[in-house]
Structure formats: structure tokens, C-alpha cells
Amino acid sequence: MKVAVVGATGLVGSKMLQVLAERNFPVTELIPVASERSVGKEVEFKGKKYKVVGMKDGIAAKPAVAIFSAGGGTSLEWAPQFAAAGIKVIDNSSAWRMDPTKKLVVPEVNADVLTADDFIIANPNCSTIQMVVALMPLHLKYKIKRVVVSTYQSVTGTGKKAVDQLFNERKGIEGEMAYKYQIDLNVIPQIDVFLDNGYTKEEIKMVKETCKIMKDDSIRVTATTVRIPVVGGHSESVNVEFENEFVLSEVKDLLSKAPGVIVQNDDTSQLYPMPLWAHEKDEVFVGRLRRDETQEKTLNMWIVSDNLRKGAATNAVQIAEYMLSEGLL
């Protein structure tokens, strides 16, 4: 099976190569694709070096699937051209997520929406992915009415420039700034641009994507997204109001049996999810499970996941794995 990774030299693209190798996706030929300035560079996959090619050569190579992580503008321009050539595209940008003609997929939640006719499949926003993986089993049992989420997001979500900024600041070195403000020893309550309603684009993504993935527009979501100086993954404080009453022990049991979820919830031993432990893992970690004592039928929870893996690369590869298993590739 020929597989193209578009944006292969970037932070997420490199992680996609790593995840494809670790999960033993049946790649018979890798086609690393990137912008013209990266053409000719080499990437490594399973101990072998591959030369990076441009978009047109990537299409001409006729891969079965192309996993994109090259930005929204690139995806809008090139994903339809790959699809027109009969290549299935799994896109990690925001370009197609809210397009009503495109599927937005988290395999543990809604892989069943995929069909043979889907040629451009959208990978959701990293912060949305980990939240819906944890929320879906609870929604099926208790029906979610409202979600209030505050995120604590890793600098890796911004890219290499942001990681470099953090470590330069930590070492007292001046360098390029990915953010307007210092990120080390600081918290920045802005991810993406501000919209007219005072929310950021990242916050509205979480609102809209959650309803689309969970196939329920009645779920009300409000979000505050925040950048913090860590690299291991994103964390989320989530307050969930249900239509039906729940039992806390049953919630723990449901989550412990949910696909892709690991429950870390032991107050006695101070066990709870942290980016330090989620780093380089594919699961979504859930803990700090407790009732909201100010309101009926409401749960507080803490959700952590590696945003470069489950929040991006792993989710995309899992989509490809599902399509392959169902004969859609």
C-alpha cells in the first residue's frame, strides 16, 4: 500500500511517520510530500531514507491514502486534487472540519459514518478529540445537556517555533517568537485569533466540532482555551451536565471500559492524569472524577492526552486503519 504524508517535514508530519511505523500500518511505499522549499530533503521511515517530493509528484505517485498535515490553505488547494485522482485524503487541518459534505471522525466515537464515497475526511481539533473520546460513553448512558471546558494546552500545538521559544526563554536565549508574549513562567489565555463575539477560533472549534462528531446539536458547549508552558500534551477541566442522573461508580466503570480511555482516579495515592504521563501515549487519560456539588446531575472531570499523537497523528492513522479494515481503502 502506497501512503503519502503531506507536510512530512513538520512537527505533526514527523509524528505521523513515527506513528505509522509504531502501529505497523502496512506501508509498502512511503511518499513524503512537502512544500517546494523542502523538496529533495530526506526523511527516515523504518530505518530507510526517503526523498521529499512536491505536491504534483505526490499525486502522480498514486498513493492509496494521503495523510495531510500542511495547514488549512494547502489542504483547501491540494486535497481536492488528490481526491480527484482517486486518492483518499485524511486531513489534519481545520479546512474541511465544518464542511457539511465532509466527515469529521474520531474512530472510537463515530467511525461508522465513513463510506467508500468519502475521499476527504477531516481530523478534528486536538482539544476536541480527547474530550469527545471521554464524553461519548457518558453521553450514550446519561445524555449530555451542557459542557463547560477550560483547556491547558501544550506549546507543541502551535508547532516547532513555539517549542523553540519556550526552551530559548528557559535558557535566557533571544530568538523567534511564536507568541506575542513570553510563554515560560506564564499562561496565555488566547489560542488562535479572536472573533467578533470575544471567543477565539479555537474555542468555537471545540463548540461546533463536539456537536458534529457526537451527532447531537442539542449539546451546549462553552470553552476557554489557554496555552501553558508544557510539551507533553493538552489538559482539560470539563464540567458536564447530564439530562439523567448518574452514579459515580458507574461513571468510572463506563470510562474504564471505553475504547481509548485510561482512568487514573485514585485520591489516596494522588493518581491523576498529567501531560508528563500522557506524553508519547495514544490513549486519553481521565481522572479527578467528582460530582459538582452546586448543581444536580453534573460531573467534574480532568482529561489529558498527547496532542501530537491522539490529538493529531494517531487519530489520523486510526482513521486509515479503520478504512483499511472496512475495505474503504
Residues forming the active site? 126, 234
* 112, amino acid identity: D
- E strands in the chain: 2-6, 29-33, 42-45, 48-51, 65-68, 88-91, 103-104, 120-122, 144-153, 220-227, 234-242, 261-263, 284-291, 298-305
Residue environment code for 118-133, b if the CB has 16+ CB neighbours within 10 A, otherwise e: bbbbbbbbbbbbbbbb
Measure Cα distances from 221 to 20, 128, 147, 193 in Å. 33, 11, 5, 19
* Strand-strand pairing, 220-227 and 144-153: parallel
Scan for cell 464542511, then name that residue: 99
- Let me know if 164 is exposed, middle or buried by CB neighbors in 10 A (0-12, 13-18, 19+): middle
- Let me know if 295 is exposed, middle or buried by CB neighbors in 10 A (0-12, 13-18, 19+): exposed
The Cα 51–Cα 227 span in angstroms is 35
Long-range contact set of residues 48-54: C-beta below 8 Å, sequence gap at least 24: 52/8, 52/9
The Cα 317–Cα 266 span in angstroms is 32
Among candidate residues 32, 25, 24, 26, the one with its CA nearest the CA of residue 4: 32
